[in-house]
Amino acid sequence: MKYVRFIFFLLLNSGLVFVLNSRSILPLPLGEFLSVQEGIWQNAESVNASYNEKIKIVGMEGKAEVYFDDRLVPHIFAEKENDAYFVQGYLHAKFRLWQMEFQTHAAAGRISEIVGDKGINFDKTQRRIGMVFAAENALGEMEKDPLSKAAIDAYTSGINQYISSLQTSQLPIEYKILGYQPEAWTNLKTALFTKQMTNNLAGYDRDFEFTNALKVLGEDNFRILYSDLADSLYPVIPKGTVYQAPAITLNAPETADSLYFKRKDTIQIAEEFKPNPSNGSNNWVLDGSKTKSGNPILSNDPHLGLTLPSIWYEIQIHTPEYNSYGVSFPGIPGVVIGFNDNIAFGFTNAGRDVKDYYQIQFKNDKRKEYWFDNEWKFASQRIEQIKVKNQPIVKDTVSYTIFGPVTYDKSFKTDLTESQSYALRWVAHDSSNILKMWLLLNRAQNYDDYKTAIGYFNVPGQNMIFASKTGDIALWQQASFPLRWKDQGLFVMPGTDSSYMWKGYIPSEENPHIVNPVEGYISSANQRAADSSYPYFIPGNYEVYRAITINRKLAAISNATISDMMALQNDNYNVFAEEARPILLQFVDKSALTKEEKKYLGMVETWNLINDPKEKGTVCFVAWWDSLHANVFNDDLNQSKVPLLKPEKFVLLEALEKNSAFKFVDNINTPIQETLTTQVTSALKKAAKHLAELEKEDKIEWAKFKNTTVYHLLKTNAMAFARTGLMNGGGHGIINASQHDHGPSWRMIVELTTPTKAYGIYPGGQDGNPGSKFYDSFVDKWTKGEYYALWVMNDNDIKDKRVKWKMTFSSN
């Protein structure tokens, strides 16, 4: 009996410990997870925690001190420049390790290692667009250059110094939730990070959808629906600028008409994991003639997916060579958007198309030989080994052609036939050392230094804005932009013929630029850089409306101050609605409306055109216009099952402004001829139904409808770590570009006085640990449109009240 009892307890006991230690029965190993000495409780940082620390490092060149202010912003003072990058790496790891590793795992197509088989498709896509190939090429170039090699080596050692000092109990909480351990950082991971940003900003591509649209809708309709040249375009380089004749002109290959413009088939590829086309930014700069102080003021707010931990980490780096302040990317050394004692710099996305697909004819399903210039050419093959959590490795063979990796073929997308394989030519694959641009910008003293620095940058194309204390302002749209014959690269190109290959890049001196303009200001907001008089073919994914509002305001402004710039960055005026509402109001047939529909019509009529948080008119207008857009285009786009894209908002608006009998207004599926009046009225009726539901759920106010949310990087799997329901205004096409989960990821304003006056904020916090009070400490202020004064600390400020903690790094 006692024997049985013991066996029973023994089994119960071991069973219990097994269950509490395992992920296979409960989703979390609750024993380990809730252990007070090992589990999540160890991540609950005291709100009075001290960050004072003395760290001994073998191999530091000198000494370094880090002073943390009350927002946990580190002010690094290093005797040697490379030590500063070591310390930056250490701090990035200390506060953001999980995020850095997760993002670079994502870049490398290694998410399945963490999340299991649901990540395989993503991982394959990343590898097949050549992310690792691209990072290896970039790393080769970075390591050839002594300055960047030393910086990246020091940065990597700093990260690894932290990782090796890390105890299991101190692992970031995401490791404890997902059940894995960090690995050592490498220089390749830094290169991978730059490629992940490149993919976010220069990875959105429409070749397949455009190819289908051309075939299904015909060339005339294609040009109407997918033009990137809006009538209302306010280009970065002002209209009327005279461009010199291009140094290089290209003509389409002789076979283009038959092989390119009139291809026979559509392409059934629905690209997954496309980057958000809203990834963009605003930047502008005023010279002294427009400002109250007589000094330039530079403003920048990059629009990215809003995440916790934030993509940004605020930092000051003080070395004998320079003193820079701004935000950095956990993953690379240096300040990415910011200023130093002499200049300020910022970025917006150029949106130019630098990514083309070529159709490859393989000899057979081995995909080792392809037809090119009348002979079989060998393709190298890279066997990708995708590790999957709790499952066997998945192998994927990717062929590499003269263009680049074959992203789509029958082995990846089973809908494709053997003759449908598509290779990717992408500037991101070229070897280049973009890191060096930032290392040089951090120490740049004047326009010439800035100009030299940006020459190292090849992708993703950026509008690089600049101001100096000497009073210069400038913007270059910089990157390697392929030379194109007209319409080259809009559609999938034949990969059998070298005449369709890229023939080089637009000479960088001919890239759109503007230096000290008479107008006294420069701005960019992801619009087309130049109008049609620019002598090169520059297709891209461009925004129209933010640029209009910004230019209107900047043209009118005088004696500008920092607070004027703050108001402008938070401006919620809807210039699209200003143009679009009159059409809705003119064509709606009021006599056909019910009482409730008239109520929503009234809300649109009386709306002040401002996307403020409490506005109901915004929601009514957006619902109505979107419904009209669908009424006009869905019949045409749904006539074929192949993937097609919705036309941009400006396409419909400008077409209707010109001609209310726009041909797409008619619904091709009905025998009758719809008019704009029928469509606008029916759109309101459909919208009204939706609006009535929203009103019932109390979601008809703009901010409640939009529900601005800063997701944790694990998205809906970790809503407990997200911030939802932020009551802010703005939206797509608004200067305050806050959408549901996307928007101004850092707002910065720098006035180049002596000393520099700067303000900034991002919707996150310095510490990536959800158990820290610094995890989301900036979010509420960001939501309200407020800023922090950015404190550029000096050598003699060590005793300043703002210094809360001190960390020292030395070799003895």
Partner 1 sequence: MKFIVSIFVTALLAFSMGLLLPWWSIAIAGLISGLSIPQKLIFSMLSSFIAIFLFWGFMAFFISLSNDHILARRISILVLKQDNPILLVLVTALIGGITGGISSLTGRSLILMFKKP
Residues 386, 708: Cα–Cα separation, whole Å: 35
Site pattern 17..46 for partner 1 (x: CB under 8 A): x--xx------x-xxx-xxxxxxxxxxxxx
- Please report which helix (H) or strand (E) contains residue 475, including its range: strand 473-478
Q: Cβ–Cβ contacts within 10 Å for residue 504, how many?
A: 11
Q: Does 12 bind partner 1 (CB under 8 A)?
A: yes
Q: Which is nearer to partner 1, 46 or 414 (CB)?
A: 46
Q: Figure out which of the listed residues 115, 252, 557, 718 binds partner 1, where binding follows CB under 8 A.
A: 718
Residues 208, 643: Cα–Cα separation, whole Å: 8
Q: Does 9 bind partner 1 (CB under 8 A)?
A: yes
Q: Figure out which of the listed residues 305, 489, 520, 770 binds partner 1, where binding follows CB under 8 A.
A: 770
| DSSP secondary structure code for residue 460 in this structure | S
Q: Look at strands 297-305 and 280-286 and give their pairing.
A: antiparallel
Q: Figure out which of the listed residues 184, 270, 515, 719 binds partner 1, where binding follows CB under 8 A.
A: 719
Q: Measured between alpha carbons, how far apart are the two ends of the chain, in Å?
A: 66
- Size of residue set near partner 1 by CB under 8 A: 42
Q: Figure out which of the listed residues 24, 47, 591, 697 binds partner 1, where binding follows CB under 8 A.
A: 47
Q: Which is nearer to partner 1, 9 or 378 (CB)?
A: 9
- Among all chains, which residue has been given the structure tokens 């990514």? 355
Maximum pairwise Cα distance, the chain: 100
CB of 772 to partner 1, least distance (A): 7
Q: How many residues does the chain have?
A: 812
Residues 638, 625: Cα–Cα separation, whole Å: 19
Distinct helix (H) and strand (E) counts, the chain: 22, 29
Q: Which is nearer to partner 1, 174 or 271 (CB)?
A: 174
Q: Does 471 bind partner 1 (CB under 8 A)?
A: no
Site pattern 659..698 for partner 1 (x: CB under 8 A): ----------------------------------------
Residues 79, 61: Cα–Cα separation, whole Å: 8
Contacts of 534 (CB under 8 A, 6+ apart): 237, 243, 512
Q: Which is nearer to partner 1, 4 or 672 (CB)?
A: 4
CB of 310 to partner 1, least distance (A): 17
CB-based burial, 644-679: b 16+ in 10 Å, e otherwise: beebbbbbbbbbbbeeeebebbbbeeeeeebebebb
| DSSP secondary structure code for residue 407 in this structure | E
Q: Which is nearer to partner 1, 169 or 810 (CB)?
A: 169
Segment 173 to 212, residues that bind partner 1, using CB under 8 A: 173, 177
Residues 361, 376: Cα–Cα separation, whole Å: 10
Q: Which is nearer to partner 1, 32 or 635 (CB)?
A: 32
CB of 94 to partner 1, least distance (A): 17
CB of 468 to partner 1, least distance (A): 43
Q: Does 716 bind partner 1 (CB under 8 A)?
A: no
Q: Figure out which of the listed residues 773, 802, 804, 806 binds partner 1, where binding follows CB under 8 A.
A: 773
CB-based burial, 335-345: b 16+ in 10 Å, e otherwise: bbbbbbbbbbb
Q: Does 390 bind partner 1 (CB under 8 A)?
A: no
3-state DSSP call for residue 72? coil
Q: Does 780 bind partner 1 (CB under 8 A)?
A: no
CB of 319 to partner 1, least distance (A): 35
Q: Which is nearer to partner 1, 1 or 242 (CB)?
A: 1
CB of 71 to partner 1, least distance (A): 17
| Residue 553, both tokens | 């305001």
CA dihedral over 124, 125, 126, 129, signed as positive or negative: positive
Contacts of 10 (CB under 8 A, 6+ apart): none
Site pattern 330..359 for partner 1 (x: CB under 8 A): ------------------------------
Q: Which is nearer to partner 1, 1 or 383 (CB)?
A: 1
Q: Which is nearer to partner 1, 5 or 395 (CB)?
A: 5
CB of 783 to partner 1, least distance (A): 19
Q: Which is nearer to partner 1, 34 or 798 (CB)?
A: 34
Q: Does 48 bind partner 1 (CB under 8 A)?
A: yes
CB of 6 to partner 1, least distance (A): 4
Q: Does 5 bind partner 1 (CB under 8 A)?
A: yes
Residues 532, 611: Cα–Cα separation, whole Å: 32
Angle, to 10 degrees, between the axis of helix 434-443 and the axis of helix 447-454? 170
CB of 315 to partner 1, least distance (A): 24
Q: Cβ–Cβ contacts within 10 Å for residue 811, how many?
A: 12
CA dihedral over 237, 242, 247, 248, signed as positive or negative: positive
Q: Look at strands 742-744 and 323-328 and give their pairing.
A: unpaired
Residues 697, 703: Cα–Cα separation, whole Å: 13
3-state DSSP call for residue 668? coil
Which residue from 335, 34, 24, 276 is spatially nearest to 176, judged by alpha carbons?
34
Q: Which is nearer to partner 1, 9 or 376 (CB)?
A: 9
Q: Does 3 bind partner 1 (CB under 8 A)?
A: yes
CB of 47 to partner 1, least distance (A): 5
Q: Which residues pair with 299 in a beta bridge?
A: 284, 749
Residues 114, 98: Cα–Cα separation, whole Å: 12
Q: Which is nearer to partner 1, 21 or 634 (CB)?
A: 21
Q: What share of the chain is helix, strand, coil (3-state, %, to 5)?
A: 40, 20, 40
Q: Which is nearer to partner 1, 37 or 374 (CB)?
A: 37
Q: Figure out which of the listed residues 518, 556, 672, 720 binds partner 1, where binding follows CB under 8 A.
A: 720
Q: Does 170 bind partner 1 (CB under 8 A)?
A: no
Q: Does 98 bind partner 1 (CB under 8 A)?
A: no
Residues that bind partner 1 in the complex, under the rule CB under 8 A: 2-3, 5-6, 9-10, 12-13, 16-17, 20-21, 28, 30-32, 34-48, 173, 177, 718-721, 770-773, 775
